[in-house]
Chains A and B, each alone.
Chain A
Amino acid sequence: ILNVEQSPQSLHVQEGDSTNFTCSFPSSNFYALHWYRWETAKSPEALFVMTLNGDEKKKGRISATLNTKEGYSYLYIKGSQPEDSATYLCAPGGGGGNKLTFGTGTQLKVEL
């Protein structure tokens, strides 16, 4: 079982603010890093899957970076909107086996 830490646990921002979250994981036996967006009463939906050190991915106002050598990934949201309110999960894969270990997530609330 990988030790995955996400910070902060929760975050309240105003509409238009930019924000970022951190995901820390063991750098040994790393295979891939997934980010998911999870709205209340729905299922998690994939945002990004990154595999290479230095990877950067972008989807609209959301982007992510990956540092596999030091074991962390950042998720950035530019100009937060109320519809960005959700829990953001990171999940590294590694340590043997074709499976992911999910962090407990960062809960984002964007207020008008």
Chain B
Amino acid sequence: DAEITQSPRHKITETGRQVTLACHQTWNHNNMFWYRQDLGHGLRLIHYSYGVQDTNKGEVSDGYSVSRSNTEDLPLTLESAASSQTSVYFCASSESLASEQYFGPGTRLTVT
């Protein structure tokens, strides 16, 4: 069965370190998205991609970057982790805007 996975599921890191969160989907979807979930804000879009070599900034992209070298993967990098980036991160994929998004299980990141 097709799926979308994230790793690690939990991560604790120190301020200033570079961190990369992995997202892998086997749906063969062109569209992939990274969100963060914070109390009072719901899901906010960090970056998204329409296909290989395509990346776009979302609502809260400062301090984050993504790259899309193949259809299956969209890793999210925190260049220099900050305490404000402590959050739960969800990756999602979809065929199109008119198609449902499939969400990964989430990664809980704590920056100390």
- Hey, which bits of chain A sit against chain B, CB under 8 A? 1, 31-32, 34, 36, 43-46, 49, 51, 89, 91, 93, 97-105
- Assess the B45–A31 pair: CB atoms within 8 A: no
**Can you name 7 A-B residue pairings with CB atoms under 8 Å?**
A31-B97, A31-B98, A43-B90, A43-B105, A98-B97, A100-B101, A104-B42
CA gap between A1 and B58 in the complex, in Å:
9
Question: Is residue B96 contacting chain A, with contact meaning CB distance below 8 A?
Answer: yes
Partner of A98, one of B96, B103, B106: B96
CA gap between A100 and B42 in the complex, in Å:
12
Q: Of residues 19 to 45 in B, which have CB atoms within 8 Å of A's CB atoms?
A: 31, 33, 35, 40-45
CA gap between A99 and B106 in the complex, in Å:
19
A-B pair count, CB < 8 Å, reads 57
- Assess the A101–B45 pair: CB atoms within 8 A: yes
* B71 → chain A closest CB, angstroms: 16
- Closest A residue to B44 by CB, please name it: A102
- Hey, which bits of chain B sit against chain A, CB under 8 A? 31, 33, 35, 40-45, 48, 50, 56, 58-59, 90, 96-106
CA gap between A51 and B33 in the complex, in Å:
20
- Beyond A32-B97, A102-B42, 13 additional contacts (C-beta under 8 Å) are A31-B97, A31-B98, A34-B101, A43-B106, A44-B43, A44-B101, A51-B98, A93-B97, A99-B56, A99-B58, A102-B43, A104-B40, A105-B42
* A108 → chain B closest CB, angstroms: 15
Partner of A103, one of B42, B99, B101: B42
